[in-house]
Amino acid sequence: MESGKAEEIGLNRAFIVALPSGGFRSGRRRPFPDDVARALASKENLLRLDSLDSEDRGLRDIWETLVLTGRRCTEVLSVRLECISRLNGLPLFWHDQTKVGNFDQAIRIPERLFLRIEKRQEKTVTRFIQHKGRPPTAQERLSLALFPRRPTNREGLKAVSYTWFSSSFRGWIDTLDIVSACVPHQARHTLATNLLKNGADLTHVKRYLGQISNEMAEHYVHLANTDPRLESALQALWVAGPGSAEPGILLSGGEPMTREQAEALAIDLTRQSTPADGGFCTFQPVVHGDACPWNLNCHSCDKFVMSGADLVYWHRKREQWRLLAERAPDSATADYLHEVFEPTARAIDGLEKALEAVGLLDEALALDLRRPQDYFGRVWSTAFRSQELACQQDGGEAA
C-alpha cells in the first residue's frame, strides 16, 4: 500500500488489511540471551528434551547439531545417514545448504558431536534392520535419512518434518523457566556472534556458516561487541598442569595474591610466561628465550600451567583418552591408560572447579570455536622457515 503497488494492481485495501500477518515474531534475528543459552545447554534440561522424544527420533541430536554447527534447521533435519566422515583425522559434517544452492558441503565439527551422530547412525540402522530384516546396503546408506520420520516411511528415506521438530522444541521451551520466546534458528545467530566475539573475522564466519547476507553479516558484527576483559580474565586464571606435584591446584585466580600465598606456590607465578600447547610455560629461562631443557615435554613438566582459555583443548584431550581406553584390547591396558591420564584428569577437574568458582565456566566452555585456525587451517598452518624467507628477500633485492 505504501509503495502504491496495491492501487496499481487494483488490490482492495480492506482485503489487505484483513489478511493475517503470517505470525512474524520479533527477536528471531537475535542470538540467545546468556541466561537462555545456559538453560538450553544445561545437562538437566537436555535430559528433559531427551524425555520428550518418546520414539527416539533424534530430537536432542538435532538440537545439539544445530547449536554446534549453526546450520539452518532444514539442513540438519534432512541429512542422510552417511553425513559424517573423517578427513585426515578431522571430523566432518556433510550437508546440503539448499537455501543457497550449495550441495554436499562439509564443515568441521567437534569430536563429541561426531560421536553423538555416530550413535544416532547406529539407532537408525537398527530401526532399518527391524523393518527390513537386514542391514542397509552401502548404496541404501547414502539415501537413508539420519532422522527418519515414523509415518509413511517404509523405506526410511523421509526425514522428520520441521513441524515435528519445532513443535517439540516449543514443548520443551514451555517446560523451562525461560522468560523470552525463542526459536531454534537463533542458535545460528548465537554461533555467528560467538565466532566474531572470539576472534574470527567476517570472512571466517561467512565461510563457516555458509552464505549469509551482507545485512545479516553487519547485524552480527554489530552484536559481537567483544568484551576483552573476559579473555584476559580467562587467561589470568591458572591451575597447575598434569606434571606438577598437585595437578589442578589453583595457582592464580586473576586476583592479586598475598605474599604468603605467592610464596606457598611451587611455581614462579610472575606474569611472565610463554604460550605452550594447551597452556603456558612458566619456566623463566624458556620465557626469556633459552631452549627448553626438557625437550618441550610440557604436559609432563611441573613448570607448565593451564589457563581458563585452555579448558576446551583439555576437554578434547580427555575425550581422546577416553576413546583410546575404550578401544584398548584388554582391561589391563585400559586401566593403564586411565592411570597415565589420571594426573591430567585431576588438572582438568581443578581447572573446571576454579572456573566455576569465579563464574567463568560457561564462558570458558563457550570458547569451543575460539580458534579460527582450528577450522580454517590453511592460513594458520602454512608456515615458512624464517631463514628461507630471508634468503628469498636477499635474492629479490639482489635481482
Secondary structure in 3-state letters for 45-63: HHHHHHHHCCCCCCHHHHH
CB of 241 to ligand SF4, least distance (A): 8
- Least separation, in Å, of the C-beta of 236 and ligand SF4? 18
Of 206 and 346, which has the nearer Cβ to ligand SF4? 346
- Kindly list the residues in this chain that would bind ligand SF4 in the complex (CB under 6 A): 276, 281, 283, 286, 292, 294, 296-298, 301, 303-304
Q: Is 288 helix (H, G, I), strand (E, B) or coil?
A: coil
Could you give the CA distance from residue 63 to residue 183 in angstroms, rounded to a whole number?
A: 11
In the complex, minimum distance from the CB of residue 248 to ligand SF4, in angstroms, rounded to a whole number? 16
Q: How far is the CB of 289 from ligand SF4 (least distance, A)?
A: 12
* SS3 per-residue string spanning 353-392: HHHHHCCCHHHHHHHHHCCHHHHCHHHHHCCCCHHHHHHH
- Report the alpha-carbon distance of residue 317 to residue 18 in Å, rounded: 59
Q: Which is nearer to ligand SF4, 302 or 352 (CB)?
A: 302
Which CB atom, from 161 or from 274, has the smaller least distance to ligand SF4?
274
Q: Would you say 217 or 287 has its CB closer to ligand SF4? A: 287
Q: Provide the minimum distance between the beta carbon of 287 and ligand SF4 in the complex, in angstroms, as a whole number.
A: 8
Q: Which is nearer to ligand SF4, 229 or 288 (CB)?
A: 288
Q: Could you tell me the smallest distance in angstroms from the CB atom of residue 274 to ligand SF4?
A: 7
C-alpha cell at 62: 538435532
Of the pair 159, 276, the CB lying nearest ligand SF4 is at: 276
C-alpha to C-alpha distance for 136 and 138, rounded to whole angstroms: 7
Determine contact, residues 121/144, Cβ cutoff 8 Å: no
Task: Report, in Å, the least distance between residue 96 CB and ligand SF4.
Answer: 45
Q: Which is nearer to ligand SF4, 75 or 302 (CB)?
A: 302
- CA-CA-CA-CA dihedral for 43, 38, 352, 309, to nearest 10: 130
Q: What 3-state DSSP class applies to 212?
A: coil
Q: How far is CA 136 from CA 118, 121, 127, 250, 328, in A?
A: 16, 12, 10, 52, 29
Rounded Cα distance, 226 and 350, in Å: 27
Q: How many CA atoms does the CB half-sphere of 81 hold within 13 Å? A: 24
Picking from 110, 43, 116, 113, the residue whose alpha carbon sits closest to that of residue 316 is: 110
**Cell numbers linked to 322:** 577416553
95 or 317: CB nearest ligand SF4: 317
189 and 220 Cβ atoms separated by less than 8 Å? yes
Q: Give whichever of 294 and 321 is closer to ligand SF4, judged by the CB atom.
A: 294
Nearest 5°: phi and psi at 165? Answer: -65, -45
Minimum distance from residue 296 beta carbon to ligand SF4 (Å): 5
- Nearest to ligand SF4 of 272, 393 (CB atom): 272
Among the listed residues 249, 233, 204, 226, the one whose alpha carbon sits nearest the alpha carbon of residue 309: 233
User: Closest by alpha carbon to 162, among 66, 68, 20?
Assistant: 66
Q: How many whole angstroms separate alpha carbon 366 and alpha carbon 230? A: 12
Shortest Å, Cβ 368 to ligand SF4: 25
Smallest distance, ligand SF4 to C-beta of residue 297, A: 5
